[in-house]
Structure 1
Amino acid sequence: MTLVKDNVDIKTQAQEAKKAAKQLGILSTDDKNRALYILAEHLEAGYESILEANKVDLEKGKEAGYTPAFMDRLTLTQDRIVDFADGLRQVAALEDPTDRVISDWTLENGLQVKKVTVPLGVIGMIYEARPNVTVDATGLALKSGNAIILKGGSSAIHTNKAIVEVIQHALEHTKIPKQAVQFIASTDRGATQQLFTMKEYIDVLIPRGGASLIQTVVEQATVPVLETGVGNCHIYIDADADVHKALPILINAKTDRPAVCNAAETVLVHKEWLQNHKDVLVKALQEHSITVHGDEAALSVIPNAIPAGEEDWANEYLSLHIAMKTVHDVHEAIDHIETYGTKHSEAIITENNETANVFMKLVDASALYHNASTRFTDGGALGFGAEIGISTQKLHARGPMGLPALTTVKFLMSGNGQIR
């Protein structure tokens, strides 16, 4: 089964995707849902070929000295592939985001107007070492009636190619043309650059990965970009924080999956709270092997803490390291987040509702939490099924992007000979 070719011209792939998008856009919800269930079945049945390909990428990753966080994102298991399949089934169970009438009205001359949702068309997905994105993005694109061109990073090239082989084979058993899912097998950076300027075929680019990748796409693309962001996420522990809430939330946000973008990277601690609860805080940090990079006040109470430099306040560690800064009040915490935050996810732990309200209103981020972990900034956790990324911009979509973010609108007018 060799469906993904290494030497196919990218322009040809984009043309095929655009043609397939027209066919896909008129399929019924049932047709799309049946296709997603078939994709899920083929992924589960074809796990061995995917894992074999993944071994190649993992070996190359070891040779290249990738970080543990990077290797974690790259590693697949049979259980993870089953999770991919379950994610497709969850997407199939969601409401179809297309052909929804947002509003309708009739003009004085009798002209009927409807504003309805429609697919974007062709999505270009540029991402790094996250094979799950290959499946998640494909499922969301197909359910929302979009074709997709996938350009994964070189570190996962064999894994992603094997996944798309399975997907395209599965599509041959559906009403969705297999050309609706294109994979650029080239590791040449020129291939990525070519995607940036193919406005006649690609309707939107979605970059997902590190800051460098996202910045490159945003700055160089002439195709419209749905910008996703890195996660320098903060937790502010207020003077009025309940220690029995604050510590579990902090530990969960930092340790549940340190290598993901919604993990906490900086904890801002009210000086009064730190003095009152320093012993239990230190114990919790030590029990979970968390290394603190702290300011002077934090260094005075946290054993073996590392002095924090300017780079620590902006660092997305993606590991069991965390920056700790002490503050005098919520406004100092907000100012710090305004300076170093990435508009991803921010949390406040407090029993003071007035303080929480100030935080929730003044902090500019796509997701804000009061007395809860930042780990919920995730399409699956919020009930969207899979997500295609987390948008930190303000136009069109913001926060975890599920199916509705992959649609746009049309105005449909129906008349009886009206002229102006």
Structure 2
Amino acid sequence: MTKNWQIKISILTLAATMLACQAVMGPDDDYLTESSSQESVPQDAPPTQPEVEAPSGDGGGEACLEGESYHPENGLCYLDGGNAETPFTSMMAGVTEYDENFEEKLLDGEYVLVKYDIHGSEILSPEYESVDDDLLDEQDNTALHEQIWDFYAAMIPAEDRDFVSHYVVMTDGLGGTLAAVEQNPDEPTLWMLNVDISDTENLEELTFTLIHEYGHLLTLNTSQVDIDEELFYNAEDEDALYEAEANCDTYFTGEGCAKSSSYFYLFFDEFWYDIYDDWNEIQYIEDDDKYYEATDEFYYAHEADFVTDYAATNPGEDIAETWAFFITQPKPAGNTIAEKKILFFYDFPELVELRSEIIARAYSRLIRMQ
């Protein structure tokens, strides 16, 4: 998966964290072997289903499609009992394949259009940035802003995203960054979700990217990482950075030290322990051409270990990209390291339960948005 966020470790840890996912998907991914279940899944459009009325005892709710159950706690209808998995993974098959006909039309930078406060599943108090006239239409498209947020809020249960404080609508043009997460500059234990409103037309790609970005939030929130607030507010202090890294007995993510029981550290310890030194040496290469050449060589030397080429960027992108495959693809056989990484998440019952919830919720939204 070709991405535009590939930076050296010193920049990663010194800068205010922004973890981004590019809109244009990369080369075909063939990490799955013949025995894996993904390859034979057709990508047909879901059939139109008749609507049935949701129970009205709670004051109303959306109309359910045939087979769906109404969930009054969130006002949504979706399939229960894992019944959404097959149609959803069918819909998401091939989502990371590169579109050779896609042409980027990037701007000269990245522009914030609107920032919203998040209260539960609502976005409030929009703050509008001063932008050029050619960006006003996107800035004023409140209906689209709300549609994308409503999709995300419906897909990720509220209790699993209570550390997301702001929703930022931005753009860098067509292509480039589709979505990103970054720490709240006023409270680094909280996070902001950034979405490029210009890149939201492809719903499957949007879904995959939002799930990838949630993978960062899942593995970097305060239940998983001891956030280093002092370093966050003194990002240029190299001595503080080196001290923080030296005092971390697990893995220093850039935001802080991963807890010993965290998903991040357990993943790192199992899959990066033997290759980390080779990867880390590359981060000290100062010449850009040599650096990118070395990163390519690293990936191709370990191609079967990663679900995409972007996953080889660093351990953080690896776990987020693998998380996205865990959610959007059928359970693999485990014949490669890449597949074993996906199976890693199946060892946690709470994540298997969350997977089913996200799949059911996402599928119910996608068939209504098609």
Bin the TM-score by the shorter chain: under 0.3
> Normalization by structure 2: what TM-score?
0.25
> Normalization by structure 1: what TM-score?
0.23
Higher helix proportion: 1
